[in-house]
Amino acid sequence: MTELKNDTYLRALMREPVDYTPVWMMRQAGRYLPEYRKIRATAGDFMSLCRDAEFACEVTLQPLRRYPLDAAILFSDILTIPDAMGLGLYFETGEGPKFERPITCKADVEKIGIPDPEDELGYVMNAVRTIRKALNGDVPLIGFSGSPWTLATYMVEGGSSKAFTKIKKMMYTDPQTLHLLLDKLADSVISYLNAQIAAGAQSVMVFDTWGGVLSPRDYKDFSLQYMAKIVDGLTRFADGRAVPVTLFTKNGGMWLEDIAATGCDGVGLDWTIDIETAKARVGDKVALQGNMDPSMLYASKERIEQEVSKILAGFGNGGTGHVFNLGHGIQPDVNPDNAGYFIESVGRLSKPYHQK
């Protein structure tokens, strides 16, 4: 494989010395970019964009042409695994993802199998290989998956939800069935992410978007233990170097110590926790990723710079172990120039924190 020209992101996740704080954005390839909207129209629909390796590659590279980002992230969707399990994923305009055949009982769980990542999910691996080749070693490629709990919420609810009543009903009335589903999903995620690593992903991330809707005890039982199983099952060394693993639970600030104890390399933070507090709690056990409020990108450039400066100061001197990011995905109506100013500000303002 081509040698990396910029491995700052990987070194920061492994808490090694770096010259500046690396930065990338969740959903950096997406609707806020006019060039994305153009290619999305050409593809016809979202999943067609994901299933075509050349389209997925082009969309992944678009933000890198605009901004000095320190990582690329695979353009895909967290619902690829449930889709490959035969649940009939489709997208309703203005309503988000839905499933034709949601999980309702134990028999439904028993029917689904663990998808073969090079067969039912082969289009994702083709995209990884295509993107990795096109990057030509400029920056690392991040692979990803949804967490078992987050995937299960969509599979049981039949789509997006605000109250999560169906999956919580299953959790409290038939926990064995839900655990069976979560265990299958954990095995599927391990297989899926290891295949991404084999195809060329140099770091992987697990998005636990809906872990924060759980009580502390339920979070540990129904979300965290399955992410810990994934961490234990992942390939952690490839292409002659470590493959860092980052876990991100939205609204998961109260469980930082438990997340860090899984053996992951990095913990993602949303904007509801102060990064100085988070660092004090986990010490140097893991790297931290985050954590500017995505809505800050609506602000003036002066205000954006102030916030970047505040977060960098919160993480502090020595600077190793911080990957700057938003606390969740960039909003689709953000001005791309503001995103560019944010990224430039991180690079410029972080350098003093890394001087020996």
Residue 232 assigned ligand-binding role: no
| CA of residue 304 relative to chain centroid, distance | 23
134 in a known ligand binding site: no
Residue 66 annotated as binding site: no
Of 7, 70, 77, 221, catalytic: 77
Which residue in the list 27, 66, 236, 241 is annotated as catalytic?
A: 27
The answer to whether residues 240 and 276 touch, using CB atoms and an 8 Å cutoff, is: no
- For residue 186 the two structure tokens come to 């954990």
Check the annotation: does 299 bind a ligand. no
Assess whether 123 carries a catalytic annotation.
Answer: no
In the annotation, is 31 catalytic? Answer: yes
User: What is the DSSP annotation of 284-314?
Assistant: TSSEEE--B-GGGGGS-HHHHHHHHHHHHHH
Q: How does DSSP assign 202-223, residue by residue?
A: SEEEEEETTGGGS-HHHHIIII
Whether residue 56 is annotated as binding a ligand: the answer is: no
User: Is 31 marked as binding a ligand?
Assistant: yes
Q: For residue 27, indicate whether it is catalytic.
A: yes
List, in order, residues 6 or more apart from 293 with CB less than 8 Å away: 271, 307, 326, 327
According to the annotation, is 27 in a ligand binding site? yes
Ligand-binding annotation for 196, yes or no, is no
Whether residue 287 is annotated as binding a ligand: the answer is no
Given 20, 32, 36, 154, which residue is catalytic?
A: 154
Q: State the DSSP code for 141.
A: E
Cα separation, 40 vs 50, in Å, equals: 10
- 293 carries an active-site annotation: no
Annotated catalytic residue, options 11, 15, 40, 51: 40
Query: Which residues are marked as active site?
Result: 27, 31, 40, 77, 154
From the annotation, which residues make up the binding site? 27-31, 77, 154, 209, 328
From the annotation, which residues make up the binding site for substrate? 27-31, 77, 154, 209, 328
